A and B are shown apart, each in its own frame.
Chain A
Amino acid sequence: MTTRGLWQVNNNDPLGATRDFLRALLDQKIVAALLVPMHGARDAVMPALVKHSSRLDRADPFAPVMAFNSARLVAMLTRESINVKIGVVLRACEIRALIELVKFHQAKLDNTVIIGVDCFGTLDFAKYQDARDAMPDLPARFFAQARNGNVAGLAWRDACATCEYPTPAHADIAIGFIGIDNSQMLVIETRPEIAEQLDLHADSTGAEARNAVLANLITLRTTARDETIKQFHDAMRANGGAASYFANCLECTNCMNACPICYCKECFFRTANAEHAPRELLRSAERHGALTMPPDAVLFQLTRLNHMATSCVGCGMCQAACPQNIPLTALFRAVGARAQKIFDYAPGRDVNEKPPFMEFRRDELLQIGESR
């Protein structure tokens, strides 16, 4: 049961209305604290844990920049049981990552109120800074383009340009601004009891138009996704496989740090177990004539792929973190799509769906000589 209601926007200021809405959540004690992106110094938009509604004047869940997948922070906040409700403002990819973390016992949903927001797409931090410099009216322009789903003129991150989830699933409260006149109203979808607390009445104004805009957006980006996956496979075949793809990998492990799901306390590649004795390196160089250095870059990447491919939600944080501009988003989307298909698995689809690693099905892989 979901109530769809409208939240009034005054003075053509959807962001102000959103802040009012978030203040209401705190003031009505629907949540005791809020994890929400905030504007900071030097163009930073980073999540903050807000206790007092007076501090929400810089909150901005819609700013088209994503420096961080907050699923990790929700994990940090919920690993131990706490007896207060924490509202977490998340994009669809963050919610999917959070659901994956719950399956791996890294986060709990018991005391979280997921406040999902529409995501029209985000930019890499540097591109976002450029856009702000070039377009003083960026926020207004962004909301205006979202009204009819016009994606032109903004340098979307690869992950966002190929993302098929503009709206959040599994949210306790969803805030929408795409495909409606967001100068006048925002769409709120939530459970009836929360709607009642917020004095929100069922109202389907603009639903049809919004659905049409969303459908177009999804089609556009799904097409881009499929094209990216195809290009990835073509490039892989043409250029000589994984070794060439990771040719300039430093094994800096930034991608691992940025990944919301890579949950190990201590990465194996950062332990003494993964160190090589000089003697071993020389022997290997002798065997092969030459040894690419650092020696385990490809192994590291393939291991991450092996661990994460089925759970990858495609948020693209790995690529954003890569100092060498390795196109990791395409890699994970392409390999993820294949791996997820084999196990009929969609990361973040359902918290009760077991990750392929945790489940054995007799028919999931073929025996030698069998065909599907």
Chain B
Amino acid sequence: MKSQIGVYICHCGLNIANTVDVEQVREFARILPNVAIARNYTYMCSDPGQALITNDIRDLGLTHVVVASCSPRMHEPTFRATIHKAGLNPYVLEMANIREQCSWVHSDRTLATLKAMDLIASAVAKVALLVPLQEREVKVTQSALVIGGGIAGMTATLDIANAGFQVCLVEKQTHLGGRVAQLDTTFPTQERVADLLAPVLRAITTHPNIRVITNADVEKVDGFIGNFRATIRARPTFVDAMKCDACGKCVDACPVNVPDAFDANLTTRRAIYRAPDARFVIDARACSFVQDRVCRSDPRCAAVCDRNAIDFSQTENLVEINIGAIIVATGAATFDATKKPELGFGTYSNVITSLQFERLAARQELQSVKDVVFVSCVGSRDATTGNTYCSRVCCMVNAKQARRIQEKFPDARVTVFYADVRAFGKGHEEFYDAVRKTGVRYRRGYVSEIFAAGGQTPKRDQKLIVRAEDTLIQKPIEVSADLVVLGIGMTPRAETNEIANVLGLPRSGDGFLLEIHPKLRPVETAVDGVFLAGACQGPKDIVDTIAQARAAASSAFASLCRGQVKIESATARVDEEVCAGCGLCVATCPYGAPALIARTGTARVNQVLCKGCGACEAACPSKAIQVMQCTPRQVLAQIAVLA
């Protein structure tokens, strides 16, 4: 049957019509091979515009449709639905992008009109070769995996569980709570974090739909949206929580001292210790008995335990679960302030990080001070550290902590060195204003150096001089300080690569995990069914983190609720007669869809994993692998018109 093509040219208001002579283009399109009708209209995506197309399909018996308008990313789904409504297969549509690729980027009306004609002729040449494809759906396992037990992960977990689905929450550490658990108060409301966290933790641990696996890593994820299979490696804590009565005798027996990471290395703890959730656990990496079966203490912890709760025979446990959706909420690390040696962190004990300040405040160990200096943007917006982004929380953390000092020690002189104060959240500007009114001095300028007052040899706890340039008065200044607090930024976690590799997720240039679109699809990833929540995607405060976690949860249970998901129809297929089995497609595919079959020595594509991106087809030297609707024949027909 001869194909009957309809060509529909959109004005996009004046977006296209201003630069492209749409009437001339219509006359050109009308006489192209196999074109039965060509029309133009102000907004083809509007209801009347779509009606033009559906009516022509019915009245003229069109077999293929070309819409010349905006990017297919914008309206391809719209027009596929349009032609489907009129009885055509949704895949016999081709879009000619005469807006983004023509009218928006050109000013010469004559040349832009000629280019629009070329683009349409090219689309017409291709569309006649398009074949109908079947829409496909797969069943969904109605449960979810959440990776990371911080505030983002816990929030998402609760939302999904409350919607009636089973959730498995996996946390790397032995306790839930994440970064937020280390904090003293929030900004700008100055609520105690412990009070906020307690009900969330209680809800998580008592919810019938939630299974929590702590001290564990997600080691492997196979499958695809709706049908993932995850392997979780749970490490032992060597303490039987059912037997332990938290007497603490074991801790006294333990000979090992290691810095306590939960206290931001301000304090030390033993290899066996009371974790932040009050459970006793053994840090396997620190415990010499776990590592080498030797302990220099006698009696050892296991011997002093009255209840035989310590059990060194515990082993790692591999847990396999089937889930339909995954939320990644692995958080961020904090900037290592020793990378800015001029600021004296690690040299002077009275130079601390903002996280250490939180720990001191939470432990009620803030010492009386006279002169306090806060330094902002440490490890953020700083090309010398490689982190050019803003960490989004440090300005308000500085303000909150400055206020805390001012409230606790009213005689203290507090100075904040800042680059710009970014108080963009709800109530932030008001809070910042209030802090300044309490007498905290804000001085604009970068701190160049922090050094000991009087004397060359640095002593650990002496009066410090903070040297900076006040960029408002354009003069170098020096401020003395008993305590310097560095407002450290957030950085991607060192293990981000591992999780990105396990799930096949791309990362953005700053190293954080990458969403599909920063505005339109902020929680989705390149892998369908895998969503992002919290600081693993970029620095965030608690408010934004929770908002994103709830968005990720909604996105996850949107597919869980339906029980089915639609998968890409325009996928890659292999012609086994032509395939030489070289494996380039396997190496190139970002989704792991093709695999070499040993028996035939050729590649085969998992149709559910394939997104139809075409990377394999570009790589395949003989084009034995072809993506439906982008086959060489179709694409070359498109090019031939232009060549």
Contacts and interface: CB of A to CB of B under 8 A. Distances in A.
Interface of A: 79, 104-106, 263-268, 271-274, 276-277, 280, 283-284, 287, 307, 354, 357-359
Contact of A354 (B580, B587, B636): B587
> Which 9 pairs across A and B sit closest by C-beta, in order of nearness?
A358-B587, A264-B622, A104-B582, A273-B632, A280-B640, A307-B621, A265-B580, A266-B578, A105-B583
Nearest to B642: A287
B621 A268 contact: yes
Contacts of B578: 264-266, 271
B622 A357 contact: no
A273 B623 contact: yes
B615 to A, nearest CB: 11
Given A105-B583, A266-B577, A307-B621, 16 more contacts: A79-B601, A104-B584, A105-B582, A105-B596, A105-B601, A263-B621, A264-B578, A264-B624, A265-B577, A265-B622, A266-B578, A268-B621, A271-B623, A273-B632, A283-B640, A357-B588
Interface string B568-607: 0000000001111111100110000000100001000000
Given A106-B580, A264-B621, A280-B640, A273 B633 contact: yes
Nearest to A267: B622
A354 B601 CA distance: 19
B247 interface: no
B579 A357 contact: no
Contacts of A276: 640
A357 B636 contact: no
Contacts of A265: 577-580, 622, 624
Nearest to B631: A273
A266 to B, nearest CB: 5
B619 interface: yes
Contacts of A357: 584, 587-588, 619
Interface string B606-643: 00000000000001011110000000110010001101
B582 A263 contact: yes
A272 B623 CA distance: 12
Nearest to B507: A362
Contact of B584 (A79, A267, A283, A358): A358
A268 B620 CA distance: 10
A263 B643 contact: no
A277 B624 CA distance: 22
A96 B308 CA distance: 64
B622 A266 contact: yes
Interface string B220-238: 0000000000000000000
A369 B640 CA distance: 33
SS class of chain A's interface: helix, strand, loop or mixed?
loop
24 contacts: A104-B583, A105-B582, A105-B596, A105-B601, A106-B580, A263-B582, A263-B621, A264-B578, A264-B624, A265-B577, A265-B578, A265-B579, A265-B624, A268-B621, A268-B622, A268-B623, A276-B640, A277-B640, A283-B640, A284-B643, A307-B621, A354-B587, A358-B583, A358-B587
B34 to A, nearest CB: 13
A273 B581 CA distance: 20
A263 B581 CA distance: 10
SS class of chain B's interface: helix, strand, loop or mixed?
loop
A263 B580 contact: yes
A79 B579 CA distance: 14
Contacts of B584: 104, 357-358
A268 B578 CA distance: 10
A280 B638 CA distance: 11
Contacts of A307: 621
A287 B633 CA distance: 22
Interface in B542-590: 577-584, 587-588
Contacts of A105: 581-583, 596, 601
Nearest to A359: B587
Contacts of A280: 640, 643
A268 B619 CA distance: 13
A290 B568 CA distance: 43
Given A264-B621, A267-B622, A357-B619, A273 B636 contact: yes
Contacts of A267: 622
Contacts of B619: 357
A104 B603 CA distance: 12
A287 B114 CA distance: 14
A358 B583 CA distance: 8
Nearest to B622: A264
A348 to B, nearest CB: 16
A30 to B, nearest CB: 29
Contact of B632 (A266, A268, A277, A287): A268
Interface centre among A276, A284, A354, A357 (most CB of B within 10 A): A357
A211 B352 CA distance: 63
A126 to B, nearest CB: 31
Contacts of B636: 273-274
Nearest to A304: B621
A257 to B, nearest CB: 14
A79 B633 CA distance: 31
A326 to B, nearest CB: 21
A267 B622 CA distance: 6
B643 A264 contact: no
A271 to B, nearest CB: 8
Interface centre among A265, A283, A357 (most CB of B within 10 A): A265
Contacts of B632: 268, 273
Contacts of B582: 104-106, 263
Nearest to A263: B580
Nearest to B596: A105
Contacts of B643: 280, 284, 287
Nearest to B125: A280
A287 B621 CA distance: 29
Interface in B153-211: none
Nearest to A104: B582
Contacts of A277: 640
Nearest to B587: A358
B556 to A, nearest CB: 29
Contacts of A271: 578, 623
Contacts of A358: 583-584, 587-588
B531 to A, nearest CB: 24
A268 B636 CA distance: 12
A263 B622 CA distance: 9
A277 B601 CA distance: 34
A277 B581 CA distance: 31
Contacts of B579: 265
Nearest to A306: B621
A268 B588 CA distance: 19
Nearest to A281: B640
B300 to A, nearest CB: 46
Contacts of A268: 621-623, 632
B396 to A, nearest CB: 33
B592 to A, nearest CB: 14
B504 to A, nearest CB: 13
A264 B623 CA distance: 9
A79 B577 CA distance: 16
A106 B580 CA distance: 8
A99 to B, nearest CB: 14
B116 to A, nearest CB: 17
Contacts of A284: 640, 643
Interface in B432-454: none
A363 to B, nearest CB: 12
A263 B602 CA distance: 13
A307 B624 CA distance: 15
Contacts of A263: 580, 582, 621
A100 to B, nearest CB: 11
Nearest to B602: A265
A323 B594 CA distance: 39
A266 B576 CA distance: 11
A271 B577 CA distance: 12
A357 B585 CA distance: 10
A269 B330 CA distance: 49
Interface string B106-130: 0000000000000000000000000
